[in-house]
């Protein structure tokens, strides 16, 4: 098991008890220093700064106590922001009605990148409304996905 999987396995249940979702775990070496980056959010609302601080303390204490990392590292917890990554099929259900951008492993038609509104889930397929057409994409064919927002300016 790699560092990301180990951290997820140990930390995710503790965060869940605090109603905090662990979205993503990255363990990187940047300019000779190791960084453990956890992206977290609340299940029903946006995470607040004080909740991030509490989660950071909990994660740091747990990692130290369990001796997960033997190397010196910096720990960073952050919220996913407005363009939140969509990592699990349940994320697409949760954000039904929102706009998303996905990158595919295999093209749909002739496109590997799609933008549209999430319409739902059916049989492990994500349904998108793209240019007033419903398109079903196998979840397993989604390489990456995230919510996106367009800022529309009034043209006068």
Predicted confidence (pLDDT) per residue in 108-140, tens digit: 888 999 999 999 999 999 999 999 999 999 999
How is residue 98 written in tokens? 């929102």
Alpha carbons 109 and 40: distance in angstroms, whole number = 34
Per-residue confidence at 71, pLDDT binned at 50, 70, 90?
confident
pLDDT digits (tens, 9 = 90+) for 52-68: 999 999 999 999 998 88
Domain with CATH 3.30.300.70 in the chain: 3-78
* pLDDT value at residue 152: 66
Angle, CA of 23, 142 and 39, to the nearest 5°: 15
| CB neighbourhood size of 151 (10 A) | 4
Average pLDDT, the chain: 91
For residue 155, is pLDDT > 60?
no
* pLDDT value at residue 102: 97
Q: Kindly report the pTM of this predicted structure.
A: 0.77
* pLDDT value at residue 6: 92
Which residue, among 25, 24, 23, 21, has the nearest Cα to 4 in the 3D structure? 25
* 133 burial type by CB count under 10 A (0-12 exposed, 13-18 middle, 19+ buried): exposed
Hey, what CATH topology would domain 89-147 get?
SH3 type barrels. (2.30.30)
Name the residue with higher pLDDT: 81 or 14: 14
Alpha carbons 57 and 75: distance in angstroms, whole number = 10
Are the CB atoms for 114 and 122 separated by under 8 Å? no
* pLDDT value at residue 82: 85
Domain with CATH 2.30.30.100 in the chain: 89-147
* pLDDT value at residue 99: 95
Across 76-88, average pLDDT: 91
* pLDDT value at residue 79: 92
Of the CATH numbers 3.30.300.70, 3.40.50.1390, 3.30.70.260, 3.40.50.2300, which one belongs to the domain with range 3-78? 3.30.300.70
For residue 134, the SS3 value is strand
């Amino acid at each position: 098991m790699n560092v990301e999987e180990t951290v997820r396995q140990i930390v995710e249940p503790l965060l869940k008890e605090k109603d905090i979702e662990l979205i993503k775990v990255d363990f990187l070496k940047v300019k000779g220093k190791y960084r453990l980056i956890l992206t977290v959010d609340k299940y029903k609302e946006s995470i607040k700064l004080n909740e991030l601080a509490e989660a950071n303390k909990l994660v740091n204490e747990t990692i130290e106590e369990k001796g997960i990392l033997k190397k010196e590292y910096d720990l960073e917890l952050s919220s996913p922001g407005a363009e939140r990554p969509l990592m699990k099929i349940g994320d697409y259900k949760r954000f039904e009605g929102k706009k998303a951008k996905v990158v595919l492993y295999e093209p749909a038609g002739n496109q590997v990148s799609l933008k549209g509104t999430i319409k739902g889930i059916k049989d492990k397929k994500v349904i998108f409304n793209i240019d007033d057409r419903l398109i079903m994409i196998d979840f397993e064919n989604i390489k990456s996905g995230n919510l996106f927002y367009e800022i529309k300016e009034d043209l006068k």
